Amino acid sequence: MRSLAYFIGTFVAALMLGIGSAWYMIERGSPLTTTKVGPWSGWISEGNPNADPYTKAHVARSGRLPLTSTVARYFVARTDSAGRTLTSACEYSVEGSPLNARWWSLAVYDEYGGLIENPSARYSFNSEEALRHSDGTFRINLSSKARPENWLPSGTADQHFVLLLRIYSPRETDASGIGLIPGDRLPKIERKECE
Amino acid sequence: MRVRIPGLYIVLGLVLAGLIHIVAVLTLPMLAPKSAHARLATLGPANAMIELPAAAPGRQIMPLMAPDVRYAFCRFDLTNGPVRLKATVADELWLIALYTPEGENFYSVAGADMKRAEIDLVIAAADQTVEEAGVDAPESSDDVIVVNSPVTEGIALIRAPLAGPSRATGAERALRSTSCGPYTKSG
């Protein structure tokens, strides 16, 4: 009787551990498949036909058609640089350095990957639009209220949001031809006031 | 009172968890909520160029679509022969990419890397031959690009990244003049 309970317990625990770990490694990635730099996380072999099973599963489940990582890199941030979840209840300052690529764009989405309604119909800033300082650096102000410089509205409802930095045609590549974006080039996300 | 779990059960549990993990990784893609290929299939027929409406709140065909990129796609089907994609690349930022239905990007070309603005791309399955003036003759081979597709059904997606909001109309017009259809030998 006791061994049956152990057996069932073992099976249930194995089921939860097996499926849970698979789900997490596919949705969020792991050191095997993703590079993490501060708040940013990017899949190393995204879109690549020779990618590992985790990356392939991630792409197939995403409902997206990402460019292969030799042509473009995508980095997602769900938290600020201090690790706190991004929320429209707070204001953020996104400070970036020049990126060595043909084109890049920083866009804001809700948790499900949908664009967030706002009166100025502004959903992103790209390399051609963002106002930059004389040294090539830029600052994007994420806020629910209008802000000077590059204002990216983060939605009025108290909700979590994500940032996606898409970088097309990076000019540097690593040994396997994957677009190389040095970690210190990815923008810092600093939290300002909160409501 | 402490409950002692025999070590055997822990080992058994871990081995079982490992097996379930592997099975889950291999089956989760098939249980995908809605693949990009299935989303695009609702928009129109195969072997035709279809423009995607500009991404806006509540109006996105795929999640995480770029609001500052205009897209056009062709769902190619090579069952009845190769498919030809023709475009006049309006901007060096343009990217043309071919995908399997699972979203693997098996071919891509950037506007900046093309010698000519007119791109003539023939997508053919491995067992299909494309006889075309210029394909066999190396000196003029950049007129027609033949891409061998690992799949008989897939997606060609053209991205037109915008250099600013004022460029949207021009990009949409340029995408409308691209074409996709069954390949017939050009004279």
Instruction: Please check whether residue A65 touches B, CB under 8 A.
Output: yes
Overall average pLDDT of the B153-173 stretch: 92
Instruction: Please check whether residue A21 touches B, CB under 8 A.
Output: yes
Per-residue pLDDT at A92 exceeds 90: yes
Predicted confidence at residue B140, as pLDDT, reads: 47
Per-residue pLDDT at A85 exceeds 50: yes
Coil, helix or strand at residue B22? helix
The pTM of the full predicted model, rounded to 2 decimals, is 0.91
Predicted confidence at residue B128, as pLDDT, reads: 85
Per-residue pLDDT at A58 exceeds 60: yes
* Range in B58-67, B122-131, B143-152 the model is least confident about: B122-131
Is residue B77 exposed (0-12), middle (13-18) or buried (19+ Cβ within 10 Å)? middle
- Stretch 143-182 of chain A: residues touching chain B, C-beta under 8 Å: 164, 166, 168-169
**Do the beta carbons of residue A181 and residue A73 sit within 8 Å?**
yes
Per-residue pLDDT at A7 exceeds 80: yes
Q: What is the ipTM of this complex?
A: 0.90
The domains located in chain B, with CATH, are 36-182 (2.60.40)
pLDDT band of B184, cuts 50, 70, 90: confident
Instruction: Please check whether residue A131 touches B, CB under 8 A.
Output: no
Report d(CA B33, CA B81) in Å as an integer.
31
pLDDT band of B132, cuts 50, 70, 90: low
Shortest distance between the Cα of A126 and any Cα of chain B, in A, equals 8
**Do the beta carbons of residue A126 and residue A103 sit within 8 Å?**
yes
Predicted confidence at residue A72, as pLDDT, reads: 96
Instruction: Please check whether residue A24 touches B, CB under 8 A.
Output: no
Q: How many CB atoms lie within 10 A of CB B96?
A: 23
pLDDT band of B81, cuts 50, 70, 90: very high
Predicted confidence at residue B185, as pLDDT, reads: 64
Mutate to test the interface with A, among B5, B16, B23, B28 (most CBs of A within 10 A): B28
CB-CB neighbors (< 8 A) of B112 in chain A: 102, 169
Overall average pLDDT of the B148-157 stretch: 96
Overall average pLDDT of the B35-60 stretch: 94
Beta carbons within 8 Å of A182's beta carbon, 6+ residues apart? none
* Mean pLDDT, all residues of chain B: 88
Instruction: Please check whether residue B99 touches A, CB under 8 A.
Output: yes
CB-CB neighbors (< 8 A) of B159 in chain A: 67, 168
Predicted confidence at residue B139, as pLDDT, reads: 44
Instruction: Please check whether residue A119 touches B, CB under 8 A.
Output: no
Report d(CA A80, CA B53) in Å as an integer.
32
Overall average pLDDT of the B122-138 stretch: 71
Digit-coded pLDDT (tens) for B94-119:
999 999 999 999 999 999 888 888 89
Predicted confidence at residue B30, as pLDDT, reads: 80
Is residue B113 exposed (0-12), middle (13-18) or buried (19+ Cβ within 10 Å)? exposed
Query: Would you put residue A149 in left (φ > 0), alpha (ψ -120 to 50) or beta?
Result: left
Mutate to test the interface with B, among A3, A43, A103, A161 (most CBs of B within 10 A): A103
Compare CB distances from B105 to A10, A17, A68 and report the shortest one's residue: A68
Predicted confidence at residue A3, as pLDDT, reads: 81
Distance of CA B136 to the CA centre of its chain: 27
